[in-house]
């Protein structure tokens, strides 16, 4: 710190020296100009006044030529006047053309300056009153921040600036000398103010404090953030654990779900395969029953027939009646077997879909009916039917069966009146076969399409109750549905639909 | 020796069916002798012994039989040189699509479902046999 103050003092001394030296040099140059006879006399006054204004530390300037009156402030001229004996004294002692003499005028430390120039003819002398205090004040006041300053020449103090807080630190004074070029040595003393000292001394503690603060702040911050981070980490870890738990739970849930789902699927698969097995078994049973019973039943028919043929003469009327019933029943049984076989086949046979002209198909069917039963001519009206993509043989069976039924169930004593028609709506072709026959009770309409279900006695209306079941099965295999409307004595209408397929698809649904 | 008489082989295990068939066939003069064999194995044995110079004119073949059934017999008959061209009519209770298709694929010439006509028992066989014997005549 001492070093720093010494350096400060030395630097300020240099500043003072160069400034004051500069002022002296300028004054010297001016002195030559002001003494030049070639210059008009009018040049003296404004030039000096300008110079004085530029250098406020110069209080007044006078010239050895009486034609050039002294200039400066009134007080300055007076002071200069007072100083003149001392200046002359000094000049007599000094060599050279520049003399500075410290003068105490009214207790005020002033310098008297004398500049001699040989360039003028006759040689001239310039005198100036210089207040170093003003010069130093202008020069040092601004630079004295944080320091007490004192400039002295010999024991004569010519400048002192003491900041209010500087006193207590007087023992820290450092001094340096400024050689002011004219043999005068100025001593510049400087001492730091308490603030500056604090600045020096407290820098350590401050630094420590600051560093400590900073460090502790940092530590605090890091602790804070660390804590926060840990807390966040803990929270995150907890959240993570929770999330993992949830994920695990979800996964377990999903696993359970998947397990359940696959179990369900497996169960469905099993059920499906069981169902398929059952269906196959049923079909096989159906088939083998039909097939295996058919033989023995056929034998009953055959031998009853043979008995009747070969032993007719030995049977009485009652015996013949019994034989007739045996043949009839066995034949009915075989016929039912065949119907059952047909029903079985309708569910198993392949579906060969193709675009069909349904109107033409129905007209063919009707043609066959009329060929077999000429009385039906004109009884069956066929409207315009929408085309369909369907299995031709199945559609033929469906219409044959429905038209056959419609004719069969005509009211007693009336000839059949059957109408076949259809329409398309919402990607579905709907067909109907309507009759004005005996109709049926709507309460039992569902039974119509079940195997071996009948709404009318077999005696009155022969049949096995399989035809409509086969119809329903065939329609369902096409993805359509079948239903009936009717009322007892008021006819019946059988409807069925066939989906209109753009792609003529070949789905093979099994009913 | 009734050597030149045509021979029709009836391969059937059901005695009822055999009885009805024989009764029906014998009531008509078909110009052929009917030989009954109880199953496929018996059929093949019979053919081994007898058919060197006199293959049957027609074979009526049941499907469901013990030992060697109709299908196996059919397959065997069609691989043998002596019976390769003998007309074979499958007579079965089955009207199963697969049975019909299989039999035709194995080389059957016809498939007839057993019929039970209370007014003409077994008559359907008579027309069948007559048809194939006539076909034989034409072929030769």
User: Could you tell me which residue, A259 or A470, shows the higher pLDDT?
Assistant: A470
Question: Could you give the 3-state DSSP secondary structure of residue A31?
Answer: helix
In this prediction, residues B68-81 reach a mean pLDDT of 90
Cβ distance of B20 and A303 shorter than 8 Å: yes
CA gap B69, B37 in Å, rounded:
12
What pLDDT does A220 receive? Answer: 45
What is the pLDDT confidence band of residue A237, given thresholds at 50, 70 and 90?
A: low
Q: What percent of chain B has pLDDT over 70?
A: 91
Lowest mean pLDDT among A225-229, A267-271, A478-482: A225-229
Q: Name the region of A358 (left: φ>0; alpha: ψ -120 to 50; beta: rest).
A: alpha
In this prediction, residues A339-363 reach a mean pLDDT of 82
What pLDDT does B91 receive? Answer: 94
Token readout for B53 is 């110079």
End-to-end Cα, chain B, rounded Å: 22
What is the pLDDT confidence band of residue B10, given thresholds at 50, 70 and 90?
A: very high
Q: How far is B47 from chain A (nearest CA, A)?
A: 28
Q: How far is A378 from chain B (nearest CA, A)?
A: 34
Q: Which of A469, A1, A471, A476 is nearest to A195 (CA)?
A: A1
What is the pLDDT confidence band of residue A223, given thresholds at 50, 70 and 90?
A: very low
Contacts of A348 in chain B (CB under 8 A): 97
CA distances in angstroms from A31 to A41, A62, A112, B129, listed in the order given:
14, 10, 15, 169
DSSP assignment letter at A436: -
**B121 → chain A, closest CA residue:** A302
CA gap B127, B87 in Å, rounded:
15
**A294 → chain B, closest CA residue:** B93
- How do beta strands A147-153 and A124-130 pair? unpaired
What pLDDT does A414 receive? Answer: 77
Closest in A291, A331, A345 to B116, CB measured: A331
Token readout for A447 is 């039974």
Determine which of B16, B18, B116 to mutate to test the interface with A (most A C-beta atoms within 10 Å).
B116
CA gap A87, B109 in Å, rounded:
166
- How do beta strands B32-37 and B110-113 pair? unpaired
User: Could you tell me which residue, A106 or B86, shows the higher pLDDT?
Assistant: B86
Closest in B94, B96, B118 to A305, CB measured: B118
Residue entry with tokens 């549905």: A481
The H or E element containing residue A87 is: helix A74-93
What pLDDT digit, counting tens, does each position of B103-121 carry?
Answer: 999 999 999 998 888 888 8
Backbone Cα Rg of chain A: 70
CB A294 within 8 A of CB A337: yes
Q: What percent of chain B has pLDDT over 90?
A: 34
**A343 → chain B, closest CA residue:** B96
Which DSSP string do the residues of A235-281 spell out, in sequence order?
HHHHHHHHHHHHHHHHHHHHHHHHHHHHHHHHHHHHHHHHHHHHHHH
Residue entry with tokens 């159906």: A286
Q: Where are the beta strands (DSSP E) in A156-315?
A: 156-161, 174-179, 185-192
CB B2 within 8 A of CB B51: no
Closest in A287, A297, A304 to B96, CB measured: A287
The answer to whether residue B89 scores a pLDDT higher than 90 is: yes
CA gap A135, A147 in Å, rounded:
18
The H or E element containing residue A113 is: strand A108-117
DSSP assignment letter at A345: H
What pLDDT does A430 receive? Answer: 92
**Cα A434 to chain center, whole Å?**
65
CB A507 within 8 A of CB A479: yes
What is the pLDDT confidence band of residue A171, given thresholds at 50, 70 and 90?
A: low
What pLDDT does A507 receive? Answer: 44
The answer to whether residue B2 scores a pLDDT higher than 70 is: no
What pLDDT digit, counting tens, does each position of A18-56 carry?
Answer: 777 777 778 877 787 787 777 776 778 888 888 888 888
Q: Which of A429, A424, A348, A351 is nearest to A394 (CA)?
A: A351
Q: Which of B132, B15, B40 is nearest to A296 (CA)?
A: B15
The answer to whether residue A179 scores a pLDDT higher than 70 is: no
CA gap A499, A424 in Å, rounded:
9
Lowest mean pLDDT among A138-142, A250-254, A261-265: A250-254
Most confident of A102-116, A123-137, A302-316: A302-316
User: Could you tell me which residue, A237 or B71, shows the higher pLDDT?
Assistant: B71
**A339 → chain B, closest CA residue:** B95
In sign, the C-alpha dihedral spanning A81, A85, A87, A92 is positive
What pLDDT does A219 receive? Answer: 42
Name every residue whose Cβ is closer than 8 Å to that of residue A470 and which is 6 or more positions away in sequence. A342, A343, A346, A397, A401
Which DSSP string do the residues of B5-60 spell out, in sequence order?
SEEEEEE---HHHHHHHHHHHHTS--SEEEEEESSHHHHHHHHHHH-SS---SEEE
User: Could you tell me which residue, A324 or A87, shows the higher pLDDT?
Assistant: A324
Closest in A294, A306, A349 to B23, CB measured: A306
User: Could you tell me which residue, A400 or A212, shows the higher pLDDT?
Assistant: A400
The answer to whether residue A358 scores a pLDDT higher than 50 is: yes
User: Could you tell me which residue, A181 or B91, shows the higher pLDDT?
Assistant: B91
Q: Which of A338, A315, A320, A499 is nearest to A425 (CA)?
A: A499
Complex ipTM: 0.76
Residue entry with tokens 């059929």: B43
Selected residues 342-371 of chain A with any CB under 8 Å from a CB in chain B: 345, 348-349
Contacts of B95 in chain A (CB under 8 A): 338, 341, 345
What pLDDT does A124 receive? Answer: 81
Closest in B14, B114, B121 to A306, CB measured: B121
Strand order in the sheet with A492-499: A380-382, A418-425, A428-435, A492-499, A482-486
Closest in A302, A341, A348 to B121, CB measured: A302
Residue entry with tokens 């008297």: A112
Determine which of A284, A299, A310, A327 to mutate to test the interface with B (most B C-beta atoms within 10 Å).
A299
In this prediction, residues A369-374 reach a mean pLDDT of 84
In this prediction, residues A73-86 reach a mean pLDDT of 84
What pLDDT does A467 receive? Answer: 83
Q: What percent of chain A has pLDDT over 70?
A: 71
Task: Note if the bond before A122 is cis, omega within 30 degrees.
Answer: yes
User: Could you tell me which residue, A404 or A278, shows the higher pLDDT?
Assistant: A404
Asked if the C-beta of A325 comes within 8 angstroms of chain B's C-beta atoms, the answer is: no
Q: Which of B41, B49, B22, B51 is nearest to B129 (CA)?
A: B22
What is the pLDDT confidence band of residue A129, given thresholds at 50, 70 and 90?
A: confident
Which long-range contacts does A480-484 make (Cβ < 8 Å, 24+ apart)? Answer: A480/A428, A482/A449, A483/A445, A484/A440, A484/A445, A484/A448, A484/A449
Q: How far is A395 from chain B (nearest CA, A)?
A: 19
**B123 → chain A, closest CA residue:** A302
């Amino acid at each position: 710190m001492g070093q720093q103050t010494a350096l400060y003092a030395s630097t300020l001394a240099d500043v003072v020296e160069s400034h004051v030296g500069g002022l002296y040099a300028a004054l010297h140059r001016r002195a030559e100009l002001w003494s030049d006879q070639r210059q008009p006399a009018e040049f003296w006054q404004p030039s000096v006044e300008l110079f004085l204004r530029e250098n406020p530390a110069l209080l007044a300037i006078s010239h050895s030529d009486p034609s050039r009156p002294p200039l400066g402030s009134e007080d300055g001229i007076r002071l200069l006047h007072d100083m003149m004996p001392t200046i002359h004294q000094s000049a007599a002692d000094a060599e050279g053309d520049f003399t500075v003499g410290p003068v105490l005028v009214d207790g005020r430390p002033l310098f008297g300056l004398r500049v001699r120039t040989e360039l003028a003819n006759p040689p001239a002398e310039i005198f100036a009153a210089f207040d170093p205090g003003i010069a130093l004040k202008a020069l040092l006041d601004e630079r004295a921040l944080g320091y007490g300053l004192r400039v002295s020449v010999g024991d004569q103090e010519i400048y002192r600036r003491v900041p209010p807080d500087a006193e207590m630190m007087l023992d820290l004074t450092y001094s340096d000398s400024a050689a002011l070029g004219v043999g005068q040595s100025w001593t510049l003393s400087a001492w730091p103010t308490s603030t500056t000292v604090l600045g020096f001394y407290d820098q350590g503690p401050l630094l420590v404090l600051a560093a400590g603060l900073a460090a502790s702040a940092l530590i605090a911050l890091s602790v804070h953030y660390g804590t926060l981070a840990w807390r966040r980490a803990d929270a995150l870890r907890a959240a993570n654990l929770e999330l993992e738990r949830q994920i695990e739970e979800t996964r377990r849930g999903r696993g359970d779900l998947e397990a359940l789902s696959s179990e369900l699927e497996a169960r469905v698969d099993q059920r499906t395969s069981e169902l398929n097995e059952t269906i196959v078994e049923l079909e096989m049973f159906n088939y083998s029953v039909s097939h295996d019973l058919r033989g023995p039943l056929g034998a009953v028919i055959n031998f009853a027939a043979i008995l009747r043929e070969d032993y007719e003469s030995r049977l009485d009327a009652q015996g013949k009646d019994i034989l007739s019933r045996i043949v009839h029943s066995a034949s009915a049984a075989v016929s039912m077997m065949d119907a059952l076989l047909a029903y079985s086949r309708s569910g198993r046979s392949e579906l060969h879909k193709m675009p069909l002209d349904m109107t033409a198909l129905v007209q063919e069917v009707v043609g066959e009916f009329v060929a077999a039963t000429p009385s039906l001519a004109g009884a069956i009206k066929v409207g315009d039917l929408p085309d369909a993509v369907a299995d031709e043989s199945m559609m033929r069976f469906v219409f044959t069966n429905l038209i056959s039924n419609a004719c069969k169930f005509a009211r007693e004593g009336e000839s059949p009146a059957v109408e076949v028609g259809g329409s398309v709506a919402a990607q579905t072709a709907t067909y109907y076969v309507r009759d004005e026959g005996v109709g049926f009770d709507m309460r039992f309409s569902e039974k119509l399409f079940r195997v071996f279900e009948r709404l009318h006695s077999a005696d009155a209306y022969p049949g096995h109750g399989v035809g409509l079941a086969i119809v329903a099965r065939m329609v369902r295999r096409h993805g359509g549905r079948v239903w009936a409307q009717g009322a007892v004595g008021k006819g019946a209408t059988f409807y069925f639909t066939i989906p209109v397929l753009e792609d003529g698809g070949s789905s093979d649904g099994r009913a | 020796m009734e050597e030149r008489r045509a021979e029709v082989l009836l391969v059937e295990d059901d005695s009822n069916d055999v009885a009805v068939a024989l009764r029906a066939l014998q009531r008509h003069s078909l110009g052929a002798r009917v030989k009954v064999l109880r199953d496929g194995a018996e059929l093949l044995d019979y053919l081994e012994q007898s058919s060197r110079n006199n293959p049957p004119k027609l074979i009526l073949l049941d499907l469901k039989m013990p030992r060697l059934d109709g299908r196996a017999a059919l397959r065997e008959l069609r691989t043998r040189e002596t019976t390769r061209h003998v007309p074979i009519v499958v007579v079965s209770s089955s009207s199963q699509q697969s049975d019909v298709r299989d039999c035709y694929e194995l080389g059957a010439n016809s498939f007839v479902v057993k019929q039970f006509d209370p007014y003409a028992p077994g008559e359907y066989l008579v027309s069948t046999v007559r048809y194939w014997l006539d076909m034989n005549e034409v072929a030769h």
